[in-house]
Amino acid sequence: MQNSLKNAIESKILPTVDKPMRYMGGELNCVQKDLSTVSLHGVFCFPDLYDIGMSHFGLQILYHIVNKQENYALSRAFQVWTDAEKVMRDNGIPLYTLEYFTPVRDADWIGFTIQYELQYTNVVNMIDLAGISVLKESRTDNDPIIIAGGPCVSNPEPLSLFIDAFAAGDGEKTVLDICSTLDMLKKRGASRTEKLEALSKLPGVYVPSLHTYAAKGVFDVPDMSTIIKASKIPVLQSDNYPLKPIVPLMSVVHSRLPVEVMRGCTRGCRFCAAGTYYRPVRERDPDAIVESIRNGVRETGWKEIGLLSLSTADYSCLSPLLTLASDVVAENRTSLSLPSTRIDALTDEQLQQLDTVSPVSSMTIAPEAASIRLRKVINKDFSDDAIYATVDKLLAYNIQTLKLYFMIGLPTETDDDIEAMIAMVSSIAGRVRAVSKRRMVNVSVSPFSPKPHTPFQWEKMEDPALLLEKGRYIKSSLKHLKNVKVSYRDPDITLLETVMARGDRNVSRLIYDAWKAGARFDGWDEYFDIQKWREAAVRCSVDLSRYTDAIPVTQTLPWHMLSTGVSREFLVEEREKALALVSSGDCRNGPCLQCGVCGNDLLPLFQTSYIVPQKVMASTVSVKKETTEHHFTYRVHYEKGENLRFLGHIDMSNIIHRAFLMASVPLAFTQGFNRHARISFGPPLPLGAAGLNEAFDITTTCAYDVNLTEINRWLPKGLVLLTVEPLSGDMTSLNASIKAALYRFVPFNKAHLDGIVEKITTFTDADTVEISVEKNGLFTQKNIRKGVISLTVSGGDSFDAVVSIQDGATCKPSELIRALFEQGTLNDFLLSRIACFRKTGSNLVKV
């Protein structure tokens, strides 16, 4: 089954879809065990594209924790794009694991992480594409247990028809508790019901099928008095972070090394669900963070390091951390990045450190509200002067783009608050323009969405029509400012997000109906269709306004049985303070606010007494300087195997670059702000082609004995460096010197070789062979005959072509196939480039 499934993937999916490497696996540091030797196999499912899922650090953490257990295996699967889904459904290809090319349905358990409400239809779609019953009540003992975690499970009810069990809170300990429980019960031959009952006894786990539900007020809610408290770990242990994170073969949304510096936030923004879900604050030791950076850069070759948290600028030891990290950054020519920062968070010292260690061209600040009054409501109590002072501080550095985040539709918002936003942006734009006319201000405006477990969970979402009017008014009022770009979010997207966030079990029926009607990727602008959801709501008799209207504080909520640790009493008090324009302090540097999350076994953990060793301070450098003007160039030949033939040229060059960095090869770099390693490749391979003898040139800062064995250790299977030789004197660039290439065409169906000799003879005897080519929507005739230097049968099972790839008369492999075979395409052949040639006089010489 495994081989036939893999063959179907390689022949049906990869040749026909956009970004085929989304579906291929085989990344550096992925874990592949012998499944016959493990007792429990789980699949981590991310309900969005590979590009997004592989940017999610939680995946890397849980993948590492489970796979370091000898008797467990955890593989991965992602929501496929619509082109791949069509191919899979048309050809009966089920959702499969990237590690083993086995059907997801064959696993013992499936774990979804749900980060965003508009991924819910993707969850349903993945379950169905796996060949598992979408409705949990129809599953049998032979089906895997489906579990969901992530911040969205703070209200699990909208997914309760589809998910067997929900795990709320930190996953580091819970995932092993789940594995050990399921492993033990599997060995005993336990039934599905027995497994679910056992899981329900674990901390933070909610199993909806074990509870009835009843109408209470406007919602249908679980009829249970027991409160399930989200699982929290007291310390962020270094052992839980991967020493060797998976490195995608293709570019993803965040192609960088993620390093968590702390979890939780004490700021207490009253609209923020993450602020309550991840409490309390637990900071990591600076030495442990730097060790994660050092190990991660060595094992991944990433050129950017992301310091992750909800508010990294609040990390108690940020200045010492930047000092400690500066040597690692300089030695490896990497850069640091921080998420958006609070107005008053970064000090002058920290900005100077960031500019020295890793200059950035853009920074993001999030006032959220422009009037002092409204900032008191949301508990962002700082003055306008503080905002302007922060802007002025940032403009002192080479910040080319200043990004501002605002919200509209916040509780108690008035027209005056909208006018204040326009005035504030205008003032900031003036400050930016006074420094440079080229610098830009990008303003993002998002509608407020009330979320569970926040002080604003009872508030209404404003009418989408009014929100749209506000967004248009803001944009229109600022359009005269040439250095300001305003974007606002579609309020209908926020409407659906709110329905999903505050929904009860009736919303499960809505999700199911909308999915059957074709809803997918609802968080993507090109696929979001509010009309599809409104029609589904009519069919299901679901009133969407029930979930967007204001909710009485006395109403039992659909998520009442789950607690993030923050008490209901605290949320009510914070709501009352918001309406009274009273701010709450920050327990980081003030008294405890009695939110309820802390206890004897769970307390805030701050790193407040760290002193940077003197030797580190003395050795810190800002930029790694070239120590010599002499450079040395080498030519490297390599093979790109059949398994990587759908890997794009840019992604492949990035992989090779990272491998040289990981092998500590002293590469020379270009000059300027964005420095690049001096590696130059020959002409790119066509997508879908293997390369048996490709080449690239590298330049080093010193004479260097290039150890190919060491570099190959950091390359994925199928990409192998073969030989290396020094070059001397002024050399024509590799790309410019190559004039022709030898390609071999091996048909997957041998019937394509019927009459091949006659076809080749007809082609070579002709003076002109014209095909129609399209460019920019226009079709022209192209004579490809002069671009084919030779065309011969090779070994009886293939044919070879030497084609020109420079100097005007050219022929692409795909064009040759079109000329030879009326119904054929390049996808019908295994294509390999055997050699590249340069010209010496009238002769072709292998490069």
What does the pLDDT look like over 665-687, one tens digit per residue? 999 988 765 678 889 999 999 99
With bands split at pLDDT 50, 70 and 90, how would you rate the model's confidence at 371?
very high
Amino acid at 141: D
54-63, 242-251, 450-459, 584-593: the lowest-pLDDT one: 584-593
Residue 724 · residue 636 · CB < 8 Å: yes
Quick one: average pLDDT of 89-105?
98
Strands (E), 139-272: 145-149, 165-167, 205-206, 213-216, 219-222, 228-229, 257-260, 262-263
> pLDDT, tens digit, for every residue of 751-773?
888 999 999 999 999 999 999 98
The answer on pLDDT for 617 being more than 70 is no
Number of H helices, E strands in the chain: 26, 30
Smallest Cα–Cα separation from 511: which of 95, 85, 119? 119
Residue 454 · residue 492 · CB < 8 Å: no
Higher pLDDT, 305 or 705: 305
> pLDDT, tens digit, for every residue of 316-346?
999 999 999 998 998 888 899 887 777 777 7
Quick one: average pLDDT of 503-528?
97
Q: Report pLDDT for 594.
A: 95
The answer on pLDDT for 1 being more than 70 is no
Residue 806 CB neighbour total at 10 angstroms: 16
Peptide bond into 280 cis (omega under 30): yes
So what CATH class is 2-229? Answer: alpha beta
Q: Report pLDDT for 618.
A: 45
Residue 176 · residue 138 · CB < 8 Å: no
Higher pLDDT, 805 or 473: 473
Q: Report pLDDT for 832.
A: 98
Token pair recorded at residue 717: 């299977």
Smallest Cα–Cα separation from 308: which of 590, 60, 119? 60
The answer on pLDDT for 31 being more than 50 is yes
Strands (E), 658-768: 679-681, 689-700, 719-727, 738-747
Smallest Cα–Cα separation from 809: which of 832, 788, 793? 788
Residue with tokens 């442990």: 288
104-118, 401-415, 526-540, 697-711: the lowest-pLDDT one: 697-711
The answer on pLDDT for 384 being more than 80 is yes
In the chain, what percentage of residues exceed pLDDT 70? 96
Work out the mean pLDDT of the chain and round it to a whole number: 93
In the chain, what percentage of residues exceed pLDDT 90? 82
Q: Report pLDDT for 622.
A: 43
With bands split at pLDDT 50, 70 and 90, how would you rate the model's confidence at 27?
very high
Residue with tokens 């939780």: 264
Q: Report pLDDT for 736.
A: 85
The answer on pLDDT for 432 being more than 90 is yes
Quick one: average pLDDT of 617-622?
46
Amino acid at 282: R
pTM, full prediction: 0.94
Q: Report pLDDT for 353.
A: 86
Q: Report pLDDT for 623.
A: 43
Residue with tokens 């997914």: 159
CATH number for the region 632-731 comes to 3.30.70.580
- Transcribe 367-387 into DSSP letters: EE-SSHHHHHHHT----HHHH
Quick one: average pLDDT of 347-373?
89
Token pair recorded at residue 445: 């405006």
The answer on pLDDT for 499 being more than 60 is yes
CATH 3.30.70.580 intervals, the chain = 632-731
The answer on pLDDT for 615 being more than 70 is no
The answer on pLDDT for 272 being more than 90 is yes
Quick one: average pLDDT of 449-462?
99
> pLDDT, tens digit, for every residue of 711-726?
999 999 999 999 999 9
Residue with tokens 């674990």: 202
Q: Report pLDDT for 624.
A: 44
CATH 3.40.50.280 intervals, the chain = 2-229
What is the DSSP-derived secondary structure letter of residue 93? P
Helix boundaries (H) for 396-490: 415-435, 464-478
Q: At what angle do helices 286-300 and 318-332 cross, to 10 degrees?
A: 20
> pLDDT, tens digit, for every residue of 632-647?
999 999 999 999 999 9
190-199, 355-364, 398-407: the lowest-pLDDT one: 355-364
CATH number for the region 738-846 comes to 3.30.70
Q: Report pLDDT for 808.
A: 75
The answer on pLDDT for 206 being more than 80 is yes
What lies within 8 Å, CB to CB, of 43 at 6+ separation is: 74, 75, 76, 77, 97, 104, 107, 109, 110, 111, 144
> pLDDT, tens digit, for every residue of 274-321?
999 999 999 999 999 999 999 999 999 999 999 999 999 899 999 999
